[in-house]
Structure 1
Amino acid sequence: MSEIEIGRNKRGRRGYSFDDVAVVPSRRTRDPEDVSTEWQVDAYHFDIPIFAAPMDSVVSPATAIALGKAGGLGVLDLEGLWTRHEDPTAQLERITTASEEDVVEVLREAYAAPIRPELITQRIREVRDAGVTVAGSLSPQRTQEHWKTVVDAGVDLFVIRGTTVSAEHVSSDREPLNLKRFIYELDVPVIVGGCATYTAALHLMRTGAAGVLVGFGGGASHTTRETLGISVPLATAVADVAAARRDYMDESGGRYVHVIADGGLGKSGDLVKAIACGADGLMVGAALARAEEAPGRGFHWGSEAHHQTLPRGHRVEVGTAAPLEQILFGPGLAADGTTNLIGALRHAMATTGYLDLKEFQRVEVVTSA
């Protein structure tokens, strides 16, 4: 891989975002109706490769159920408003109506309430009782405190999600989470991330994770690049982690770890290009925050926005586009990539001649950068 000289003392690789790449049509086309968007994580089958990001502006128990019935997966933020407040309606109202000057303080106040284990149990069981696959997310810092409550409540997929998650976290003042031991001892599949490099992903795969989340510093509501100076363009990140998946399969004798693009997937074209770069699944935030059913009511924010000492995100207005069903399956309302996400993915796969998602990862891409 060639490097670019930034200055006499520093060289760096050129990275590409999804805006920098495009999918190339092939000699064969197909009917969109013949295309399959199905995939599977461990024993759990999904009709569409959409995971709703664990963000309070996107996922409530009700929207997790709705997405599950639509063939995807809603991931509950088990450190969010729904596990801190019996009824978070008032907090959601305050957040969505706060002025730009006051919103950080309003967010901090809303999330200052302690996480209540009984509410973790209640929210997970509410989704489970609806008959759909249940997924919940904790940060690495909270996992040791709450994992048993989560597993006992009946979660199907356990997500450990942070801005960046390392298999080799070092701390001088506390015992860090031993991911490999934790995943080995857990009875449910674990998806872990984010990461954005080949080496970090390979180490996470060696912990026994069922899937790896790719991305940090991206996404509509994150300001990690501005506050920490950390970011990796996602087309490059996904392609690098997909290479780690390939090499880990050889190393492990055939064990397949799913690569899930996480962040920067605001339009249908971004979803298409993420899979073209090697993603198996898609962790979607802003695109689903535009649904009429979304708890954010046209606004979008993540856990980074209410950090008590160093906010690395903000509340953004994404607007309300359509009901969730229409955002996923159409019909599209405008030619802007915000509605009929799955229809767009199907058309892209059909236009390039591929029948399923795994095949589509082989499609040719070009860069305009």
Structure 2
Amino acid sequence: MSNEIEIGRGKRGRRAFSLDDVSVVPARRTRDPEDVNLSWQIDAFTFDMPVIGAPMDSVMSPDTAIALGRLGGLGVLNLEGLWTRHEDPTSLLEEIASLPDEPGSPEVTRRLQEIYSAPIRAELITERLNRIRESGVVVAGSLTPQRTQEFYRTVVEAGVDLFVIRGTTVSAEHVSTAKEPLDLKKFIYELDVPVIVGGAAGYTPALHLMRTGAAGVLVGFGGGASSTTRRALGIRVPMATAVSDIAEARRDYMDESGGRYVHVIADGGLGTSGDIVKAIAMGADAVMLGATLARATDAPGGGWHWGGEAAHPVLPRGHRTRVGQAAPLEELLWGPGRQTDGTTNLMGALKAAMATSGYTELKDFQKVEVIVNPAVGA
């Protein structure tokens, strides 16, 4: 059955669904939440929960990456952020949090651009990653495709366990007449560490990323709380459809490759525990959380959230967003919850949803029945 609709005589488009458009259907059999197993493994690394901290300065510092690792998740440090540009960015983080509360303010954007104009220092990349390694948790750092060739040797030599290549969109084949592009397949083949790469928002680009040898693919484009990509570029793919499409690419790639499994990681637009539940129900193996974790009282953003796009020197596509402070990171993830809106005890809510639907394992929960909900946002 075709999902295309006619937009006008000259253009047809495929119908796509956001996470708000779908709901999980409870099953005949229920389980005890205590029997639900949330552990997740990628390559040789096993985690107690399928949560990755987004590499954004408002979410992850070396200390919060360590804290998230000790709580059973994976913290990814932004290796192009304040922690690798400034010796001690604490005062700058405080300044960003104290800037005027004016969404989209040119003055705020200009100040962010000034702060992020400081050069990235290779020795600070090494220092920050070493600090995380000394804590005993899994070490992960992120670069954009544009910076990967410049700094990846520094990252690998620092002893990173997982390497993340994250951008607004990442393709397996980038064509440029101005400079030599990053050859992802060759690059990943030559590395000694597993690579997570994205974002991708469709079946075909995700399948090509899987063929590069990536261990995981980030799913998402233009849907995060701090992103204005949809307004600036007119590009956005609703998350429910994107995850489902890329989960199908994962299945087809398993057949093509003789059983190689590539993890699908939903990245962006996951503001509540219900969004996390539905992302996994649509086929995600794990979720990368930004604004959701920026609400922690011990997050570096101080109740504010922003991404690197907000400080782009030429075409800023994001803003600093007030997300508030809900609870310490541990309570935010594991409870006890104090809020009733799905912003705390995220893993408790995931366990409850899986138990109510009759599932105890994450991979099995990807098979749960879902419906399209006509009451958007319900």
User: Shorter-chain TM-score: what band?
Assistant: over 0.9
Q: Is contact 1:158-1:188 (8 Å) kept?
A: yes
Asked if 1:33 is matched to 2:34, the reply is yes
1:53/1:285 contact within 8 Å kept: yes
Q: Tell me the residue number matched to 2:15.
A: 14
Per-residue Cα deviation, 1:96-120 (whole angstroms, up to 9, x for no partner): 1112332101111110100000000
The reply on whether 1:225 has 2:230 as its aligned counterpart is: yes
Aligned-partner Cα distance in 1 for 2:272–2:316: 25
Give, as a single letter, the amino acid of the residue that structure 1 aligns with 2:127.
Answer: Q
Which residue is equivalent to 1:349? 354
Match of 2:158 among 129, 141, 153: 153
Q: Distance in 2 between matches of 1:334 and 1:298?
A: 16
> Is the contact between residue 54 and residue 137 of structure 1 (CA under 8 Å) also seen in structure 2?
yes
Deviation at 1:71, TM superposition (A): 0.3
| Residue aligning to 2:25 | 24
Is 1:75–2:80 an aligned residue pair?
no
Residue 282 of structure 1 and its aligned partner are, at CA, apart by 0.3
Per-residue deviation at 1:331? Answer: 1.1
Contact 1:221 1:313 survives alignment (8 Å): yes
Measure the CA separation in 1 of the matches of 2:153 and 2:126.
Answer: 10
The residue that corresponds to 2:193 in the other structure is: 188
Q: Residue type matched to 1:56 in 2?
A: D
TM-score for the superposition, normalised by structure 2: 0.97
**Aligned equivalent of 2:368, options 339, 363, 366:** 363
State the shift of 1:290 in Å: 0.4
Match of residue 122, structure 2, among 92, 117, 120 = 117
Output the CA distance in 2 between the equivalents of 1:98 and 1:355: 45
Structure 2, gaps ≥5 residues long: none
2:158 is aligned with 1:128: no
Alpha-carbon separation, structure 2, partners of 1:300 and 1:2: 36
Correspondence for 1:338 among 327, 340, 343: 343
Give the CA deviation at 1:2: 2.1
The Cα offsets for residues 23-51 of structure 1, whole Å up to 9 and x where unpaired, read as: 00011000000000001010000000000
Q: Deviations over 1:172-225 (max 9, x none)?
A: 110000000000000000000000000000000000000000001001000110
Please tell me whether residue 273 in structure 1 is matched to residue 278 in structure 2. Answer: yes
| Aligned twin of 2:332 | 327
CA distance in structure 2 between the partners assigned to 1:161 and 1:210 by the alignment? 13
Paired residues in the alignment total: 369
**Quick one: percent identity of the two aligned structures?**
72
Name 1:253's counterpart in structure 2: 258
Q: Distance in 2 between matches of 1:147 and 1:188?
A: 11
Aligned position for 2:178: 173
What amino acid is aligned across from residue 269 of structure 1 in structure 2? Answer: G
Normalized against structure 1, the TM-score is what?
Answer: 0.99
**Contact 1:94–1:106 (8 Å) recurs in 2:** no
Between the aligned partners of 1:20 and 1:137, the Cα distance in structure 2 is 31
Q: For the residues of structure 1 that align with 2:90 and 2:77, how far apart are their CA atoms?
A: 16
Superposed displacement of residue 368, structure 1: 1.5
1:284 paired residue among 284, 289, 296:
289
2-structure distance, mates of 1:92, 1:313: 17
Equivalent residues in 2 for 1:284-323, closer than 5 Å: 284-323=289-328
Structure 1 runs, 4 residues or longer, greater than 4 Å off? none
| Contact 1:31/1:350, CA 8 A, preserved across alignment | yes
Shift of 1:91: 1.1
User: Separation in 1 of the partners of 2:40 and 2:229?
Assistant: 31
One-letter code aligned to 2:35: D
Unpaired runs of at least 5, structure 1: none
Letter in 2 for 1:236: T
Cα offsets for 1:64-115 (capped at 9, x unmatched): 0000000000000000000000000121122111123321011111101000
What secondary structure, in the 3-state scheme, does the structure 2 residue paired with 1:59 have? coil
Structure 2 partner of 1:64: 65
The CA distance in 2 between the partners of 1:130 and 1:34, in whole Å, is 30
Q: More deviation in 70-79 or 98-107?
A: 98-107
Letter in 2 for 1:37: L
Q: Pick from 243, 246, 254: which aligns with 1:241?
A: 246
Distance between the aligned counterparts of 2:317 and 2:49, measured in 1?
Answer: 30
The alignment partner of 1:91 has SS state of: helix
* AA of the residue aligned to 2:9: R
Q: Could you tell me which of 147, 159, 162 is aligned with 1:142? A: 147
Mapped partners of 2:233, 2:164: distance in 1: 24
Distance in 2 (alpha carbons) for counterparts of 1:2 and 1:326? 41
1:209-248 Cα offsets, whole Å, 9 max, x none, are 0000000100100011000000000000000000000000
Question: 1:334, CA displacement in angstroms?
Answer: 1.8
Separation of aligned partners in 1, 2:373 and 2:284: 21
**CA shift digits 1:284-303 (9 cap, x unpaired):** 00110000110000000001
Q: Give the equivalent residue in structure 2 for 1:52.
A: 53
| Structure 2: distance between partners of 1:338 and 1:35 | 20
Distance in 1 (CA, whole Å) between partners of 2:149 and 2:30 is 50
Root mean square deviation of aligned Cα: 0.6
